[in-house]
Amino acid sequence: MGSHMRLRNVIAVWIACLLAGASALFGETRVVVENEAVRILSATQAPGEKTPLHRHASNRVVVFLDSGDLRVFNEHGQAKDEHYSAGQTIWSGPTGMHITQNTGVTPLRIVEIEVKRPASEKPPTRKPELDPVAIDPKHNILLFENDFVRVFKSWREPGASETLHEHSGIGRAVVLLTDLDVNEKLADGKVSRKTEHAGDVMWSDGPVTHAGTNLAATPFEMVIVEVK
């Protein structure tokens, strides 16, 4: 009878972990965007903190806002040490059950963009003359591209302006690595000012054609995730 009770308790814990998902991974986790295309989480893991046993069921883009070290334990207790740099961005598919621990001495902030949609059967059409990665590869550095997303890092010097360009696909997430103070000019000539902070995450639906001018005294830097 006792062994059956223990087994039921273990199963209950596993189910609870699976149902909790990524939203309960760290001491400070919040959903910043959720729509039909993505769920975006902003999480902070304190030094020494361990997550519960969990898995990730979705494909994800993971952006590390800080440099740090993680120890990842698989479901068998085997450990693997991983180091990440501030601004590093990776693609991660669905995972098995695991636990992560921040083995560094400072908090580690992470943004996770879970892609809800299946791979695009027909990739979005890009106009070469408006593709930011094609027309300005110095300031728009391709990190990776697959059937789900295109991800690149974009930056701009103080006072400099972007060339008019277009973001294609069903929408895009922007993860700010620095503070942002820009004038955004749309294709129809409308101009608006945007001010945001490092670590902020923004989502925009659908294709957009625009160009930004950096109004700050320092460069801006961001990771752009175009969802196909």
User: Do the beta carbons of residue 59 and residue 118 sit within 8 Å?
Assistant: no
**Other beta carbons less than 10 A from residue 210's beta carbon:** 18
User: Do the beta carbons of residue 120 and residue 67 sit within 8 Å?
Assistant: no
Specify whether 56 is located in the same domain as 103.
yes
Query: From CA 182, how far away is CA 201, in angstroms rounded?
Result: 15
pLDDT at 21: 45
Specify whether 182 is located in the same domain as 222.
yes
Q: How many CA atoms lie within 13 A of 167 on its CB side?
A: 25
**Other beta carbons less than 10 A from residue 224's beta carbon:** 20
Query: From CA 117, how far away is CA 9, in angstroms rounded?
Result: 34
- Of 154, 145, 148, the C-alpha closest to 174 is 154
**Does 214 fall in a domain?**
yes
% of the chain beyond a pLDDT of 90: 84
Instruction: Find the domain containing 30 and state its range.
Output: 2-115
What CATH number corresponds to the domain at position 82? Answer: 2.60.120.10
Amino acid (one-letter) located at 77: G
**What is the total count of domains within the chain?**
2
**Does 168 fall in a domain?**
yes
pLDDT at 122: 86
**Does 139 fall in a domain?**
yes
* Residues 128, 36, 174, 85, CA torsion sign: negative
User: pLDDT tens digits, residue range 14-64?
Assistant: 444 444 444 445 668 999 999 999 999 999 999 999 999 999 999 999 999
Specify whether 32 is located in the same domain as 11.
yes
pLDDT at 120: 82
Specify whether 79 is located in the same domain as 148.
no
Specify whether 19 is located in the same domain as 103.
yes
pLDDT at 26: 63
Specify whether 89 is located in the same domain as 167.
no
> Tell me, what DSSP letter sits at residue 50?
B
The stretches of 44-192 forming alpha helices (DSSP H) are: 132-135
Specify whether 8 is located in the same domain as 105.
yes
Specify whether 96 is located in the same domain as 135.
no
Specify whether 107 is located in the same domain as 144.
no
Specify whether 55 is located in the same domain as 6.
yes
pLDDT along the chain (228 residues), means of 10: 48 43 63 97 96 94 98 95 98 95 97 94 91 98 97 98 96 98 96 98 95 98 97
Query: From CA 83, how far away is CA 103, in angstroms rounded?
Result: 10
**Does 195 fall in a domain?**
yes
